Amino acid sequence: MLRRVIPRLALLLLLAAGCQNYNFNPVGNCIIQPGSTSFQLSNQATADVLFVVDDSGSMEPEHARLAANFSAFMDALASAQKARQQNGLSAFDFHIAITTSSIFESWKTVLPVTCGGTGPTCDVKQSHYTQNENQLACTAAEVGEACDDVIEDYYFQTTNPSNVATYCTDPGVGTPQAAYPAGNFVAAAGNPLVLHFTKDLNWASWGTATPDSKLQTLVAQFQQNIDVGSCGSGMEQHLEAGRLAVEKALNMNGLKQPAAVAAGEWPHDGAKLVVVFVGDEDDCSNPNDPTQALAFDPANPASTTPGSDVCIEEQTTKPVSSQKLFKIADYATFFTTLPSAAGSSAYRSLGAAFIYSAQINSCTSDSSGNTTCTPGTCTCQCPPSCATCGPSAQGECQIPSDCTGKIPFLTGVGGTSIGSRFSQLSSQLRSAGASTYEASVCDADWSATLQGIANLVKPPSGLTLPTTPASSDVMVLRIQHADGTNDRYCKGPGANEDWEFVACNGQTTDGIIPTSCISINHGLGSCEANPGETYIAQYLGKVPQDGCLVAADCASALGGKVTDWTCLGASAPQTGTCVCAQ
């Protein structure tokens, strides 16, 4: 930190301390109070990564691209690991788990069916796929209500049957008649459910003629695990699957991941959470209830047509308040308020990536390093490596000629443009201070996409403060050693310094004007914390964020009870605010 800043901050902190007899709570227009926030890097991990991948029938080409381009993901992370080691810093760990978008698929029955029988259950005599489908139980209050055929299991054959609707050429992690993952982690046979890319791997060997064998094995296992198949539910529920996966991993609400995942294996205390959603159709998270779920109609083919199915119809014809789809705001709150560790009041750092149907060449980066795209029907691009391209080709060359499955830009009730549920959640997460990255699922080359995801996995790019500092001169950022000794101060704020203020929650800045978000310039390498160390920001904050306008506000802030408050001077003349002390 610049030497001139520390004495002034110390002086102002003393002034604030001298006023402790008064109320330094968020009242009035101009009260200031000492503020601080911290973020400790876990000793065990920097990031826990969850891929939520669409496993419906249209996704086979995308799985191939994800697997084929995973080396770009590794290249970006290996470069970051090498740079840290060159700067005398420790490498970091990251841990990858995968689940799919399959929770259930609901169909209207040919004949009206009501809750009844024993249980009571939704007594479907003839399921859409089989006569012996196990139905969800109805509550006693729902007996007599109309109910749908809710399917929770894989139904397919790998040899062409007479009923081609159940024919599947890429089962992936799916097994006929086995339950959909519904948030459970998945992996190829014999592979771990969580892949641990630890700091003790020989990262310097990556990209050489003799890469580390353990690292090679992990990469190969990811490429196998990410091929989740294309035999899953056609009612993709990415957001709900992501929520369930995290709840099960944290043993929330009585849910658990399979026994093969050890307690504490994912996520790790203090680690950043990175969730990656991959899908070519929009999210359709809705109630897993035979009387409440959205349902495809076998008598109406349009109800299952990508881009116009019942899930899209729900968004475009009904106001949010009456939709059966789960609310985006609830998912935003869930992912941004997860505790960093059991019993901790601090929230877990979050990054989120959305690889969805977005217009090609529409993706741009903002001033905070987030990448956003314009949702819409995208034109499938054939990778330049393919000699032939089309439905009959193999792997990533198997591109559907009509881009089947890609969603259009949506228009809601009253003509309001609503994008997609992916883009809506991405926007709300950014508003809450999370980092997001978006890309088009139709891109021919996913290397740039995976590099963007890798950037989310790297150590935190900044901190979010509970209030806005009164001035850039009353802000200190330091790194505390794991044992509480040997603090290191970071220089700033400024675009070419160790850290700067960045726009968040509607605030504006030029890098120096205070906001409640700060960004660390990892490119300089001089403000980097090791695993176990803590970033600590200390400052004098304005309460409320707008501060006071004139010195007289100091007297009126406490209802006239205090008359001898004075303005220390304009701390931010461009906004007309001032800092007050008694």
**Do 408 and 492 fall within a single domain?**
no
For 127-173, the pLDDT digits (tens) are 888 765 667 888 888 999 999 999 999 988 877 766 666 778 789 99
**Do 122 and 259 fall within a single domain?**
yes
What would the mean pLDDT of 92-118 be, rounded to a whole number? 91
**Do 60 and 25 fall within a single domain?**
no
**445 or 580, higher pLDDT:** 445
pLDDT at 414: 66
Most confident of 14-18, 98-102, 231-235, 495-499: 98-102
**Do 537 and 498 fall within a single domain?**
yes
pLDDT at 572: 38
pLDDT at 362: 87
CB count in 10 Å sphere of residue 530: 17
Residue 33 has pLDDT above 70, yes or no: no
**Do 78 and 159 fall within a single domain?**
yes
**Do 380 and 487 fall within a single domain?**
no
The 10 Å CB-count burial string (b at 16+, else e) for 194-207 is bbbbbbebebebbe
Confidence of residue 402 (pLDDT cuts 50, 70, 90): low
**Do 37 and 114 fall within a single domain?**
no
**Do 155 and 25 fall within a single domain?**
no
Residue 413 has pLDDT above 80, yes or no: no
pLDDT at 573: 38
Taking the C-alpha atoms of residue 77 and residue 407, their distance in angstroms, rounded to an integer, is: 32
User: What strands lie across the sheet with 94-100, from one edge to the other?
Assistant: 194-197, 94-100, 47-53, 272-278, 350-356, 435-440, 371-372, 364-365
**Do 381 and 259 fall within a single domain?**
yes
Q: 293, 285, 315, 286: which is closest to 107 by C-alpha?
A: 293
Domain end among 457, 491, 519: 457
Domain end among 406, 430, 457: 457
> Contact at 8 Å (CB) between 476 and 467?
no
**Do 441 and 469 fall within a single domain?**
no
Q: Is the dihedral of CA 505, 507, 509, 512 positive or negative?
A: negative
pLDDT at 5: 36
Confidence of residue 323 (pLDDT cuts 50, 70, 90): very high
3-state secondary structure labels for all residues of 235-249: CCCHHHHHHHHHHHH
Tell me the whole-structure pTM to 2 decimals: 0.79
Q: By mean pLDDT, which of 152-156, 230-234, 279-283, 504-508 is the weakest?
A: 504-508
Domains in the chain: how many in total? 2
Taking the C-alpha atoms of residue 439 and residue 419, their distance in angstroms, rounded to an integer, is: 14
Most confident of 86-100, 162-176, 180-194: 180-194
Q: 253, 301, 222: which is closest to 53 by C-alpha?
A: 222
Q: What angle do CA 53, 274, 489 make, to 5 degrees?
A: 165
| Residue showing tokens 């086995």 | 178
> Contact at 8 Å (CB) between 470 and 577?
yes
Cα distances (angstroms) measured from residue 488 to each of 491, 498, 523, 526:
10, 12, 17, 10
Confidence of residue 250 (pLDDT cuts 50, 70, 90): very high
What would the mean pLDDT of 216-240 be, rounded to a whole number? 94
Confidence of residue 190 (pLDDT cuts 50, 70, 90): very high
What would the mean pLDDT of 483-499 be, rounded to a whole number? 88
Residue 23 has pLDDT above 80, yes or no: no
Helix (H/G/I), strand (E/B), else coil: 469: strand
pLDDT at 295: 95
pLDDT at 270: 85
**Do 477 and 393 fall within a single domain?**
no
Domain end among 411, 436, 457: 457
Residue 326 has pLDDT above 70, yes or no: yes
pLDDT at 42: 66
pLDDT at 248: 97
- Find all residues with CB under 8 Å of 577, minimum gap 6, and list them: 30, 470, 542, 546, 547, 548, 549, 570, 571
> Contact at 8 Å (CB) between 109 and 135?
no
E strand or H helix at 537: strand 534-543
Taking the C-alpha atoms of residue 318 and residue 223, their distance in angstroms, rounded to an integer, is: 40
**545 or 509, higher pLDDT:** 509
**Do 334 and 361 fall within a single domain?**
yes
Which residues face 501 on adjacent strands?
Answer: 518
Structure tokens at 78: 């290996």
What would the mean pLDDT of 50-54 be, rounded to a whole number? 96
Structure tokens at 39: 């973020």
What would the mean pLDDT of 312-338 be, rounded to a whole number? 93
Domain that holds residue 32: 5-41+461-581
- Average pLDDT, whole number, for the chain? 81
Which residues face 94 on adjacent strands?
Answer: 47, 197
- Prior bond of 469 cis (ω within 30°): no
- Find all residues with CB under 8 Å of 264, minimum gap 6, and list them: none
- Find all residues with CB under 8 Å of 220, minimum gap 6, and list them: none
